[in-house]
């Protein structure tokens, strides 16, 4: 009788194990069709009967001669246990952290410094082909540099992985490699400036999490520019989705952004006396996680380094002190005491020390700030109503203001870094380095993890596209014999999040309702997806969470705070107060800047039949979800998004509901709808057919002229 390899006695296979994930086992008796068990012996001599499904027999183990290969594609059998075993052998036995998988470099974080990144190592890899030496981050960087120089083609390096995998450090090493091998003879020290951008962005954009002491809480794409001699002449940086909520809230054993602790550690220095700071334990925004110190990290020394790198970029003392004033003001704002006055009102004492310092640092009117942190103004066409806020609402308003100030400050610092890295003349080629936040799953996952994991789904799709789809299509095109690899396609989970009536669109719809609630939005998700979409689940023991099956893992998200974080709004009156600041930097942050209400702004002409009324929070109405959904800059860089068809196909009934939601978001809707002077007609098609037209009437104050096709 003939037995296939998987059924033959003596064959070594992998079987699942709760402790080790996979265990190696040798088949001790030939397997026949219909057998319900496979008799195997583990490496420790244990014999067991392993229940098997004839349609899914255990994966085969590679021959010992192949174990420890430096390229996973050289393995006879390429599956999960083979990959994990090979990486384990290289890491544990050979002390090697790098392994190739074709053009991809797999890195295991050793969580300690290794002596493999010095200039001598850089020069050893310079000029070598990718497979000629041991796998290394420098080999990937050299390949990108060589391809750029040889073919005059721009290159990109994408650094991805779960939180704590070592992405930030890897991106830093690639940039250092380019700076070393392409050093120019000029005295401008451009390479040093490019490298100096890293410590600054890490100070203001990185923080300690439970997974990582230096976790990037934003995405960063750095484009390094080269001249015709392939020497660095400058760089440009783009950032994505800064985790603003960290400014006002940190989970247990986590910290706020490093820069706050560096500043507090320097509080006793004479030059910072006017900031009236103390230790990090004294401020709500830095002590919340109960972990103000990182073992082995000297925040005071890091502050000196941050100042040095600012100076290296030409950002001298005055600029730095302006930045530190803004940071100190945020810390003092977090300590402002808000008292409840009954159930419906709140107040702030006129003698609140931290409010006084906040207003002093930003040169603001203290009485106005105390009043408008506890009240909001509602403007209708006929009157203006002043509405008191509860203590919880006022605290939210304070925190929203702190987040907005920090967000503006972060963008401002990145803008100034980019100005310092500008160069005269023309860029010949570039190499892009994308350091994107990794897949995250914590004990409590919220809106930030949802956005991060959505971006990682897009990244995984790009990986699939390059590694599997395109490669296999090439084989088929050239009629090369090839067994198609059945890889996981994550398009269904992307559709769940971003398609019409998907999670993000339903979130945006709920945000537009005047009394929208997290619970109502969650109920819509349950109604739309439970038992209808296999990738969406309702937890058995919770009515406040939902579960998504991502490519990497199942993640449970708590719905609390999703709407508030997605709206990302600050009350207009507070913005007006900050605009009036005598402190130029603060005032500039809040000056009007035109932000299109429409995701179609590049192709649609916005016009109205009469001058528009001023809408509350007009510059802050765009939701975070809509930025992720309609302006996916990361995705454009990766070129992994599917272009949406022409305009007609975009205007669906769900979009009409969104327009109606915008109307409902006004407290003066009845007056507006009854006042025909404020109405104008908007024509738009529901289908690609030019004959299928409907008319609706919308108040001109909503600036919905963009619905009229140009």
Find, among 506, 522, 527, the residue nearest to 556 by Cα.
522
Q: Tell me if 168 is assigned to a ligand binding site.
A: yes
Rg (CA), the chain: 29
Residue 586, CA atoms < 13 Å, CB-side half-sphere:
28
In sequence order, what DSSP letters do the residues of 470-525 get, joined into one string?
HHHHHHHHTT---PPP-PPP-HHHHHHHHSTTSHHHHHHHHHHSTT--HHHHHHHH
Q: What is the DSSP string of 590-620?
A: TS-----S-TTTTT-----SSPPPPPTTGGG
CA dist list (Å): 669 to 57, 424, 613, 687, 694: 64, 53, 13, 29, 22
Q: Is 4 annotated as a binding residue?
A: no
First to last CA, the chain: 75
Query: Per the annotation, does 99 bind a ligand?
Result: no
Exposure of 562 in the CB half-sphere (CA atoms within 13 A): 32
Instruction: Tell me the catalytic residues.
Output: 163-164, 168, 212, 215-216, 438, 440
Q: Is 80 annotated as a binding residue?
A: no
Dihedral pair phi/psi, residue 379, rounded to 5°:
-100, 125
Spatial separation of the C-alpha atoms in residues 654 and 506, rounded to whole Å = 9
Q: Is the CB of residue 420 less than 8 Å from the CB of residue 195?
A: no
Beta strands in 191-273 (DSSP E): 206-207, 215-216, 219-226, 232-240
Specify the residue for token string 């420790």: 44
How many angstroms separate the Cα of 41 from the Cα of each of 19, 53, 479?
Answer: 17, 19, 42
The whole-angstrom separation of Cα 507 and Cα 520 is: 10
Q: How many residues does the chain have?
A: 710
List, in sequence order, every residue forming a beta bridge with 140; answer none if it has no partner: none
CB 640 within 8 A of CB 461: yes
Contact 91, 106 (CB under 8 A): no
- The CA distance from 416 to 193, in Å, is 12
State whether residue 57 is helix, strand or coil.
Answer: coil
How many C-beta neighbours within 10 Å does residue 651 have?
17
Instruction: Establish how many alpha carbons lie within 13 A of residue 293's alpha carbon, considering only the half-sphere containing its beta carbon.
Output: 7
The pair phi, psi for residue 613, each rounded to 5°, is: -75, 155
Q: Is 164 annotated as a binding residue?
A: yes
Q: How far is CA 372 from the centre of its chain?
A: 32
DSSP output for 327-372? HHHHHHHHT---EEETTTEEE--TT-HHHHHHHHHHT--HHHHHHH
Q: Residue 382's closest CA among 700, 665, 671, 703?
A: 671
Query: Distance between CA 387 and CA 375 in Å, rounded?
Result: 6
Interatomic CA distance for residues 155 and 152, integer angstroms = 9
Distance CA 189, CA 536 (A): 52
Specify binding-site residues for ATP. Answer: 161-168
Give the residue numbers of the binding site.
161-168
């Amino acid at each position: 009788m003939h037995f296939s390899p998987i059924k033959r006695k003596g064959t070594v296979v992998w079987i699942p194990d709760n402790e080790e994930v996979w265990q190696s086992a040798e088949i001790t008796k030939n397997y026949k069709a219909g057998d319900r068990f496979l008799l195997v012996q583990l490496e420790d001599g244990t014999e067991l009967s392993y229940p098997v499904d004839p349609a899914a027999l255990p994966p085969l183990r590679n021959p010992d001669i192949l174990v420890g290969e430096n390229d996973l594609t050289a393995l006879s059998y390429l599956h999960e246990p083979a990959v994990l075993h090979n990486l384990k052998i290289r890491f544990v036995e050979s002390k090697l952290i790098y392994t190739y998988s074709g053009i991809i470099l797999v890195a295991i974080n050793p969580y300690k410094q290794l002596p493999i990144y010095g200039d001598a190592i850089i020069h050893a890899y310079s000029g070598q082909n990718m497979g000629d030496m041991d796998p290394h981050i420098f080999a990937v960087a050299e390949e990108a540099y060589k391809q750029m120089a040889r073919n005059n083609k721009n290159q990109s390096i994408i650094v991805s992985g779960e939180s704590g995998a070592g992405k930030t450090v890897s991106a830093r090493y690639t940039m250092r490699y380019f700076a070393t091998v392409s050093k120019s003879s000029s005295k401008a020290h451009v390479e040093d400036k490019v490298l100096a951008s890293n410590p600054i962005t890490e100070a203001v954009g990185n923080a300690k999490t439970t997974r990582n002491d230096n976790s990037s809480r934003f995405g960063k794409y750095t484009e390094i520019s080269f001249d015709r001699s392939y020497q660095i002449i400058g760089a440009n940086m783009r950032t994505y989705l800064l985790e603003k909520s960290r400014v006002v809230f940190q989970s247990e054993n986590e910290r706020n952004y490093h820069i706050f602790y560096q500043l507090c550690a320097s509080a006793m220095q004479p030059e910072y006396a006017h900031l009236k700071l103390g230790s990090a334990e004294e401020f709500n925004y830095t002590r919340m996680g109960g972990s103000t110190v990182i073992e082995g990290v000297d925040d005071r020394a890091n502050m000196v380094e941050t100042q040095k790198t600012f100076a290296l970029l030409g950002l001298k003392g005055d600029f730095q002190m302006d930045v530190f004033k803004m940071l100190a003001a945020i810390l003092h704002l977090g300590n402002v005491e808000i008292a409840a006055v009954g159930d419906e009102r709140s107040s702030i004492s006129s003698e609140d020390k931290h409010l006084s310092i906040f207003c002093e640092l930003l040169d603001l009117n203290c009485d106005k700030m105390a009043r408008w942190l506890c009240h909001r103004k509602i403007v209708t066409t006929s009157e203006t109503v002043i509405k008191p806020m509860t203590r919880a609402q006022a605290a939210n308003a304070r925190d929203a203001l702190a987040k907005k100030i920090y967000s503006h400050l972060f963008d401002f610092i990145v803008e100034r870094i980019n100005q310092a890295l500008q160069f005269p003349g023309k860029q010949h080629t570039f190499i892009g380095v994308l350091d994107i936040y990794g897949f995250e799953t914590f004990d409590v996952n919220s809106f930030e993890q949802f956005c991060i994991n959505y971006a990682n789904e897009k990244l995984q799709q790009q990986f699939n596209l390059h590694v599997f789809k395109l490669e296999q299509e090439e084989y088929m095109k050239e009629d090369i014999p090839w067994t198609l690899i059945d890889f996981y396609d994550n398009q269904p989970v992307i559709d769940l999040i971003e398609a019409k009536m998907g999670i993000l669109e339903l979130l945006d719809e709920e945000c537009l309702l005047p009394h929208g609630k997290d619970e109502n939005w969650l109920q819509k998700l349950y109604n739309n997806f439970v038992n209808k979409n296999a990738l969406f689940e309702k937890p058995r023991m919770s009515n406040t969470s939902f579960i998504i099956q991502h490519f990497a893992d199942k993640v449970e998200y708590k719905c609390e705070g999703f709407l508030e974080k997605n709206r990302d709004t600050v009350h207009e009156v507070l913005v007006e107060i900050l605009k009036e600041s005598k402190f130029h930097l603060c005032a500039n942050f809040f000056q009007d800047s035109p932000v299109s209400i429409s995701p179609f702004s590049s192709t649609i002409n916005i016009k109205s039949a009469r001058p528009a009324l001023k809408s509350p929070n007009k510059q802050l109405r765009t939701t975070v979800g809509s930025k992720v959904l309609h302006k996916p800059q990361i995705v454009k860089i990766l070129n992994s998004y599917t272009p949406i068809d022409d305009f007609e196909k975009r205007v669906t009934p769900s979009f009409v509901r969104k327009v109606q939601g915008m109307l409902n978001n006004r407290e003066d809707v009845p007056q507006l709808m009854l006042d025909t002077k404020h109405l104008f007609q908007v024509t738009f098609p529901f289908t690609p057919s030019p004959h299928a037209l409907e008319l609706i009437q919308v108040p001109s104050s909503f600036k919905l002229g963009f619905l009229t096709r140009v």
